[in-house]
Structure 1
Amino acid sequence: MACGMTVQNDPIIKVGNLNTYLVSSYIEHRQKEKMIRTIAIVLRSENPEYHCLLCCNKQNISVNATYDIHSDHFGFEYGTADITCNIPDMCTKPTHVAITYRSPKEDESSQDIHILQPVRNQQKQEVFPYEFTVCISAMFDYWNVLMLVQAMEMYKILGAQKVAIYKTNCDKDIQKVLDYYVRQQFVEIIPWTIASYINVSRGWQKSVSPGELHYFGQIAALNDCVYRYMYQSHYVAMQDLDEFILPLKFKNWTELFPELHKKYHNFGGFEFENNYFPLTINDSDSKYSPDYWKKFAGDNILEHIYRIKNDPKKYSEFKIIADPRLVYRTSVHGLLHFIKPSVRVDSQIARMYHIRNVPKEKEALQSQIQDTHLRDYADSLIPAVSKVLKQALDTEQISEP
């Protein structure tokens, strides 16, 4: 409780009888006037009059709010929005906020009971506990145990100290692995329950994947991750579990990024070209496919060493690693509103290895190139993965101290 009202720490909070769902609220330190920015998912056709109910010094203060819907919504009925309100001088430290509204037919007192959420990022920091944080924005119906453990261990090798996962659901073995990494304080799980409120799409294209909200609210989750780690991490990598951003001339991100800053001056983020490695094409070398791994569900990334050649005349998608303090809004493939823009990194310096099912016509139309760079990490990756599988899932190990 705070200021006489219930507090909810996790997303998602529904606002009264509106089609507005709150994710998290943050102090915005980068404007002339200090304000609170609440990341929300809203029905784009509604036009509500929002207010912020601030909990300050154990008192409630109501101030007007404005909202703005992000441009990337891919034509779905719902989109990500920022609800913002300036902090009045009388409120020296707003610890919690509720978003309220007033409709023409009712006054504020007739609404549902307000639920407060904490206001994060109270202090602007210049020293961060993490150098790299990975944001995984949509985990649903997830079962791929082997790839999950490989991804976590690859992120460690590459230099990440934290992984934030916005989780809707997964199978029981995945949950055991997640619990293992949470105990290690390497993973933070953010409960992502938007599918309980909105008919979500399982893809980005409405004509192919029907629904009212793009891909489980992925854009809202990514924006939340940027703000959640704004003063905890020097950089945030916004990607999926089947994607690996690999330097070609350096061992890890820690070595790569000083060189990127030398080559590309004054940018807020770095874009890494997507390269597909189809799951349908594999090379099962016993050196890279331990027998022990075969008892676990999932795909072995070390077996996929053929990538589809990108057409230089066509646009290639990318994922981004950004300085979160230079970002106001992000989308899936790039920044929407920023202090400094992002830049495409030369694919001979670093590129993204994307290991997934690819449409057969895409495989057939474009030539394939053998690319074994992922295996350069095998000597470190294989024993690390085997250790986690034994400790997190092997029943003989569970009872051990």
Structure 2
Amino acid sequence: MRHRDKQLLKRFRRLMFIAVLPVTLLIWTSRGYWTFHSRTFTCQRTTVQQHSVHTTYTMGHQDLRSAVLQGRQPEASVVTVNGTKTLLLSAYLEHCTDRKEVRVIAVVLRSEAVAYRCLFCCQEQLHISDGVCNIHSDHFGFAYGTADIMCPIPSGCETPSRITVTSAAGSSDVDREFLEVKNQNVKSDAFPYSFTVCLSTMYDFTNVLQFVQSLEMMQLLGVDRVVVYKTSCSPETQRILDYYTHKGLVEVIPWSLSRYLNVSLSWLPSQGPGDLHYFGQIAALNDCLYRYMYRSRYVALQDMDELILPQSVSSWSELLPQLEQKYGVDRCYMFENNVFPNTIKRPPPNPPTPPLLASWLNVSGVDILAHLYQEPYEEIHKSNFKIIVNPRAVFTTTVHGVLHSQHGCSWVDRNMARMYHTRRPSQPHLKPDQLIYDGRLLDYSARLIPAVSAVLKENGLLEEDSTH
């Protein structure tokens, strides 16, 4: 071959290499797209790892990529499941069942049958399993109810950090948000809090005076954490919430189910039309139970206007050892409801008479020290009890009592402790002289009155130089 021909051949080969190289690289880098089912996408926006996928389903590339990209968003408060009426509220690693799984607390349309798919972010990889929905039996006849979507943790996923739930029949362009998986660490002692009170739910709340009195009473009883699930309240109430949050006593959980559902103002559809019982109270109580399961030794589930008062000792710290000795440990302790009508004011029959707190008259709300007469006990009060529990011995709770626990519940003798409920009358036909005096609250008044006045003054709700 002549020298000129050899030069032309080398130039031709060089041009062919330059032309073919980009095509070869494109084919090589596109292999992950066409064979994605043998790849695991990370839960970040960045890279694609070359690992096998532990999955129950085969998903389209764009569908999987969408789920992955959403994993970088901040934790959502409420996650909707597209194509369904399901709302996801929170997720907790379950340590008390036989299988390793994540419990997702949700609100579901009870008449809707959905096959759920659980997506886990685990060691920066995406894993998938089938979810099983258990609807709580207490829904009071509303169309929606609280549910637990139990998500088995797939093989190869040791520490799931985030989770979301989708419908297996959902479209491929579903916009997914992830919930943080809480309760990663199990604790059996040395809890940050001894007694936590879960209050649900606060909506259009203006009862400032009774709220401050209750929070100060709870501290006298030994409570060191109060969790408030808040939908709405007055500016004065918000000021009090901010004050106690800054002190470290209160944690406020924004509760926004009313943005998604027509929530009821009552506990029965006939008394308050809507889709869901009482602003989603049961879902809030279950969330609080799991949120503080490994942060608090005991948890009390009650309302803003209720106080569980010991009768022979002064605090819950003294009461609980007595209850454990008499009824057994790790049980749910039930306290009977005693109604003190806030519409009737009568002085005590004998001294000491509580001081007239004229400076409190301009504060919005009810003064519990002015309502010391209770309605005669009726059997119906047994259905309106509240509880103190070891949260690690309970699986699901409801407004009054628990639905599923390890060791069941015990009624507490009313001479040991009972609940004081200062509210509107439950027996409005009663005359004032038919009520029964109970001055137990006055035993705390010497410490309670100055504590309440100090909080009201500090928040600008009392005059600085006011006297009693």
> What TM-score does the superposition give when structure 1 sets the normalisation length?
0.93
Give the aligned residue type for 1:58: E
Correspondent of 2:113 among 44, 47, 67 = 47
Task: Report the counterpart of residue 261 of structure 1 in structure 2.
Answer: 324
Contact 1:150–1:381, Cα closer than 8 Å, also in 2: yes
Pair 1:344-2:407 in alignment: no
| Match of residue 30 from structure 1 | 96
**One-letter amino acid matched to 1:225:** C
2:182 paired with 1:120: yes
Flag the 1:275–1:19 CA change in 2: closer, same or farther, 3 A: same
| Correspondence for 2:210 | 147
Q: Which amino acid aligns with 1:282?
A: K
> Which of residues 317, 330, 337 in structure 1 aligns to 2:384?
317
Q: Indicate if the aligned counterparts of 2:214 and 2:305 stay in contact, CA closer than 8 A.
A: yes
Higher helix share: 2
Give the Å deviation of 1:313: 8.9
Deviations 1:83-122 (A, max 9, x none): 011112311111110111122xx54x232x1001100000
Which structure 1 residue ranges, 5 or more long, are not aligned?
none
Matched, 1:299 2:382: no
Question: Is 2:85 the counterpart of 1:19?
Answer: yes
After TM superposition, list the pairs within 5 Å mapping 1:1-400 onto structure 2: 4-5=69-70, 6-9=72-75, 11-103=77-169, 106-107=170-171, 109-111=172-174, 113-127=175-189, 128-283=191-346, 287-311=354-378, 315-359=382-426, 361-364=428-431, 367-394=434-461
Cα distance in 2 between the residues matched to 1:209 and 1:364: 28
Distance in 1 between residues matched to 2:307 and 2:244, nearest whole Å: 19
- 1:322-363: per-residue Cα shift (whole Å, max 9, x none)? 110000000101110111111110111100000001145453
Counterpart-to-counterpart distance in 2, 1:145 and 1:355: 14
Do the aligned partners of 1:76 and 1:206 also contact (CA within 8 Å) in 2?
Answer: yes
| Greater relative CO (CA pairs within 8 A, separation 6+) | 1
In structure 2, C-alpha distance between the alignment counterparts of 1:313 and 1:360, rounded to whole Å: 11
Shift of the 334–7 alpha-carbon distance from structure 1 to 2, 3 Å rule, reads: farther
| Pair 51,312 (structure 1): closer, same or farther in 2 beyond 3 Å | closer
For the structure 1 residues 395 and 244, does the alpha-carbon distance in structure 2 shift closer, same or farther, using more than 3 Å as the test?
A: closer
Partner SS, residue 83 of structure 1: strand
| Contact 2:193–2:225, Cα closer than 8 Å, also in 1 | yes
Deviation at 1:283, TM superposition (A): 3.3
Report the Cα offset of residue 297 of structure 1: 0.8
- The 1:296–1:16 alpha-carbon spacing in structure 2 relative to 1, beyond 3 Å, is same
1:298 alignment partner AA? G
What is the CA-CA distance between 1:395 and the residue it aligns to? 8.6
AA aligned opposite 2:393? L
Tell me the alpha carbon deviations over residues 55-93 of structure 1, each in whole angstroms, 9 at most, x when there is no partner: 111111121111110000000000000001111231111
Query: What SS does the aligned partner of 2:377 have?
Result: coil
For 1:47 and 1:324, locate their aligned partners in 2 and report how far apart those are by CA, in whole Å: 30
| SS of residue paired to 2:263 | coil
Structure 1 residues 270 and 66, CA gap change in structure 2 (3 angstroms) = same
Mapped partners of 1:287, 1:396: distance in 2: 21
Distance 2:418 2:179 in 1: 39
| 1:41-68 deviations in Å (ceiling 9; x for gaps) | 0000111111111111111112111111
Higher Cα Rg, which structure: 2
Aligned equivalents of 2:210, 2:155: Cα separation in 1: 51
Question: What is the TM-score of this pair, normalised by structure 2?
Answer: 0.80
What value does the CA root-mean-square deviation take over the aligned residues? 2.0
Residues 61 and 224 of structure 1, relative CA distance in 2, 3 Å threshold: same
CA distances 1:1-52 after superposition (whole Å, capped 9, x unpaired): 9553244435322111311111110000112221100000000011111111
Residue type of the partner of 2:219?
K
Unmatched 5+ stretches in structure 2: 1-42, 45-67
Contact conserved, 2:359 with 2:462, CA < 8 A, in 1? no
CA contact (8 A) 1:200 1:211 kept: yes
Higher mean C-alpha displacement, 284-293 vs 304-313: 284-293
Residue 102 of structure 2: SS of its match in structure 1?
strand
State the AA in 2 paired with 1:115.
E
User: Deviation at 1:267?
Assistant: 4.8
Could you say if the C-alpha distance between residues 360 and 395 of structure 1 is closer, same or farther in structure 2, counting changes exceeding 3 Å? closer
Task: Give the residue type in structure 1 aligned to 2:281.
Answer: Q
- Partner secondary structure for residue 212 of structure 2: helix
